[in-house]
Structure 1
Amino acid sequence: MMAQTEPTAALLIRAAAAREAGDAAEARRLLERALASGPADAELWRHLALACEQAGDLELAEAHLRKALELAPEDMATARLLAILLLSQGRYAEGFALFEARHAMDAYVKPRLPFSEWPGGDVAGRKILIWPEQGFGDQIQFARFAPILKAKGADVTLVCWPPLERLFAGSLGVRVIPARGEISFPDPDGWVMACSLAARLGVTVETVPGAPYLQSASPWPKALPPGVKVGLMTAGNRANANDRNRSLSGREAEALRSLPAQVIDLDPAATGAADFADTAAIVEQLDLVISVDTAVAHLAGAMGKPCWVLLPVQGLDWRWMRGRRDTPWYPSMRLYRQATPGDWAPVLGEIAADLEILVAGR
């Protein structure tokens, strides 16, 4: 009697579970079994690409994603995955162009505005509206382009999430409007999504504007302790899909709180900060920020504050690229990368050793 072939759907489920557990090799084995059992559709090639990427085989992951797009050119989820893969390698020209595919997905849909979208090009004498999207960190990262548009002669209006309003209004030199309730603004000649600005401006890895562009508008009224002061952010938004990979456990966070310095917890629940302008006022007084991949890291980087960022293996964001200790987006940053999924111990040990050197040099 012939052995029964396991259905492709079951193999996909098992492969997804293997990837979630960090076992890329097992995921690849299961998906290659599915490939061998019959004609492969776009979904199967996409899943195999994700397993190859997790295993570090970026060339094969790219080939599989392109195969998936060849079979289903209308699949914007696959186009977005390919965009992220290319962006993570610093291939910004094609990557940012493909990144526009995100707007075909429900979570990233564009607003319906009665104005023309700005496709790029000359902005001198034109009114440009920047529309917010994604999280606080994304908006901080791409806010750098608002004053650049102004320097090119545009009248710029930046709409942002309310907790960023005071920070942006006090730093960027453009009109800033919080996205709450009914909002009004001068009728623009063109509008653009915040995370599309790099594409519209033709930014490459070599031309990312890395100079600090945010600053504290007023001093924090509470005195901070003397000595080397380190701001600490050990967790991001729990609603983030990758939060369990990027945030630290209680035990791991406690190891950082025990570092040989004056450690200030930057969680607003601990500081009493009402918004990012308040947090910026605290960051201004610090010698260093140590953070997981969350908005506080972007804030410190945008202020030019020394910042050490802990990066996970799984769900690594494209903006941190691969194999680098630095980032063109924030020259004051140092990146500490996990080598094994879920294992922060070597990273925490390296940070502790580096901090000892920093403190000894003061």
Structure 2
Amino acid sequence: MTQPLLVKTGLEHHVDKREAALTRAESQLALRAVEHALEAFDAAEQLGADPDQCAGGRWFCHMLLGDFQSAWRESDAIRQRGTPDPARVWNGEPVHGRRVLIRSVHGFGDAVQFLRYAPLLRAMATHVAVQVAPALAELARGVAGIDQVLVWEEETAFDRQLEITELPYLFRSTADTLPSAFPYLQVSASQRAAARRVVPPSHRVRVGVVWTGGTWDSTRSLPLSVMEPILLHFPQVEFWSLQQPADNADWFVLCERMAWGNRAIDAASIAELASYAAEMDLVLTIDSLAAHLAGALARPVWVLLKQEADWRWMLDRSDSPWYPTMRLFRQPSAGDWAGALEAVGTALSRWLEDSRPRSTTPGL
């Protein structure tokens, strides 16, 4: 029996073109072909794609390019359209002379990155409270500009509220105007003393390492075996794991094989992890909480990035305007951690030759 000929209507063709344009935009963004992605998001929006979705894609592109002001214009357009978004809290009203509550509902790394804005906000507001996950409360209490720290489900009176990732938008920051007071995290004397009982002073250079992160993006992580050639090539370096105990099984096997002893920490809180990071001469890490902690503490930190790195690390840069003591090592091609680590090995050789006393920041 002959099947009927299916003919698409003009509307169906239009929908197909719209979806194809949006798919092309997302694909180009995933490949970090940013200029092509911007054109494709514009085309998709003109064909009727969700304007907020297209603006969000362009926002990501602009941030990758370091064009913060264009990103903020996309944020303006999204806010003016008023589509409900649980990640958007600030309604655009001024905060001068008001009681402000900062809510932190994103990841720990995001919170650490944007707590730097508290002193600037406090200079405008009459009171600044921050609501964070319980694990972050102790660390947040040491940040200048914060009058009150709450944990989730605790509330306080406020006139204005923001999600913590909205702070750069509030201040219309650019790569050249980011808050520059470092360190903006503090490690108390008691925390430092406790860390030194586990990581005692040493005449050897100490490097803290992190190779695996949260499960939400496993492509940021790498097997310890891939990092192992670096660890074994520098016997003059005392490498320490800054991973949580649950992630240290392979590390303990390596320590036993190399007779290193127990070079691992057991941080019961993020504040404790910060205290251990502060004891390192250098932190070598994937894109992780440890990277933000070390950067906020103004410790030298080298970050291993996948090729399609997050917006905050921009494109092709080996430095970061967010953290002046940070150096970025990117995969030369997708999945090529060995290539990134080869660059780390070369840089570490040079860094060791030029290393200075621990009280200074080694040249990056």
Q: TM-score range by the shorter chain?
A: 0.7 to 0.9
- Residues 97 and 199, structure 1, Cα contact 8 Å, conserved in 2: no
- Comparing 77-86 and 298-307, the one that deviates more: 77-86
Q: Does residue 58 of structure 2 align to residue 82 of structure 1?
A: yes
Counterpart of 2:352 in 1: which secondary structure?
A: helix
Q: Does residue 117 of structure 2 align to residue 158 of structure 1?
A: no
Are the structure 2 counterparts of residues 88 and 120 from structure 1 closer, same or farther at C-alpha, using a change threshold of 3 Å? farther
- Residues 310 and 335, structure 1, Cα contact 8 Å, conserved in 2: yes
1:201 matched residue in structure 2? 171
Are the structure 2 counterparts of residues 184 and 49 from structure 1 closer, same or farther at C-alpha, using a change threshold of 3 Å? closer
State how far apart, in whole Å, the 1-side matches of 2:87 and 2:141 are: 26
Identity, in percent, stands at 30
State how far apart, in whole Å, the 1-side matches of 2:163 and 2:88 are: 8
- Residues 88 and 318, structure 1, Cα contact 8 Å, conserved in 2: yes
- Residues 162 and 179, structure 1, Cα contact 8 Å, conserved in 2: yes
Amino acid at match of 1:164: L
Amino acid at match of 1:119: G
Pairing 1:340-359 to 2, within 5 Å after superposition? 340-359=333-352
Counterpart of 1:144 in 2: which secondary structure?
A: helix
Counterpart of 2:162 in 1: which secondary structure?
A: strand
Please point out which of 144, 147, 151 is paired with 2:119: 147
- Residues 178 and 322, structure 2, Cα contact 8 Å, conserved in 1: yes
**After superposition, what is the alpha-carbon deviation per residue over 1:296-332, rounded to whole angstroms, capped at 9, x for unaligned?**
1011111111110111113x10010111111111011
In structure 1, stretches of 5+ residues that fail to align are 1-7, 9-36, 112-116
- Comparing 285-294 and 166-175, the one that deviates more: 166-175
Amino acid at match of 1:197: L
State how far apart, in whole Å, the 2-side matches of 1:265 and 1:276 are: 15
CA RMSD of superposed structures (Å): 2.5
Counterpart of 2:26 in 1: which secondary structure?
A: helix
Please point out which of 11, 21, 24 is paired with 1:45: 21
In structure 2, stretches of 5+ residues that fail to align are 1-7, 246-263, 356-364
Offset at 1:152? 3.0
Counterpart of 2:154 in 1: which secondary structure?
A: coil
Are the structure 2 counterparts of residues 99 and 228 from structure 1 closer, same or farther at C-alpha, using a change threshold of 3 Å? farther
4+ runs deviating over 6 angstroms: none
Are the structure 2 counterparts of residues 177 and 356 from structure 1 closer, same or farther at C-alpha, using a change threshold of 3 Å? same
Are the structure 2 counterparts of residues 211 and 42 from structure 1 closer, same or farther at C-alpha, using a change threshold of 3 Å? farther
1:248 matched residue in structure 2? 222
1:338 matched residue in structure 2? 331
Please point out which of 4, 28, 40 is paired with 1:64: 40
Are the structure 2 counterparts of residues 271 and 339 from structure 1 closer, same or farther at C-alpha, using a change threshold of 3 Å? same
2:160 matched residue in structure 1? 190
Pairing 1:1-362 to 2, within 5 Å after superposition? 39=14, 40-72=16-48, 74-99=50-75, 101=78, 108-110=86-88, 117=90, 119=92, 121=94, 123=96, 125-180=97-152, 182-185=153-156, 187-212=157-182, 213-217=184-188, 218-219=191-192, 220=195, 221-224=197-200, 226=202, 227-238=204-215, 240=216, 242-243=217-218, 245-260=219-234, 261-269=237-245, 270-314=264-308, 316-362=309-355
- Residues 168 and 176, structure 1, Cα contact 8 Å, conserved in 2: no
Amino acid at match of 1:169: R
**After superposition, what is the alpha-carbon deviation per residue over 1:131-163, rounded to whole angstroms, capped at 9, x for unaligned?**
112111111111111121112343100111111
- Residues 131 and 159, structure 1, Cα contact 8 Å, conserved in 2: yes
State how far apart, in whole Å, the 2-side matches of 1:262 and 1:48 are: 47
Counterpart of 1:322 in 2: which secondary structure?
A: coil
State how far apart, in whole Å, the 2-side matches of 1:179 and 1:317 are: 27
- What is the TM-score normalised by the length of structure 1? 0.79
State how far apart, in whole Å, the 2-side matches of 1:359 and 1:46 are: 48
Are the structure 2 counterparts of residues 55 and 183 from structure 1 closer, same or farther at C-alpha, using a change threshold of 3 Å? closer
State how far apart, in whole Å, the 2-side matches of 1:259 and 1:189 are: 56
Are the structure 2 counterparts of residues 229 and 65 from structure 1 closer, same or farther at C-alpha, using a change threshold of 3 Å? same
Counterpart of 2:198 in 1: which secondary structure?
A: coil
Are the structure 2 counterparts of residues 313 and 179 from structure 1 closer, same or farther at C-alpha, using a change threshold of 3 Å? same
- Residues 216 and 277, structure 1, Cα contact 8 Å, conserved in 2: yes
Offset at 1:65? 0.6
State how far apart, in whole Å, the 2-side matches of 1:223 and 1:58 are: 44
Aligned length: 314
- What is the TM-score normalised by the length of structure 2? 0.79
**After superposition, what is the alpha-carbon deviation per residue over 1:57-107, rounded to whole angstroms, capped at 9, x for unaligned?**
32221010111122235343332222111111112123134357599587x
Amino acid at match of 1:206: D
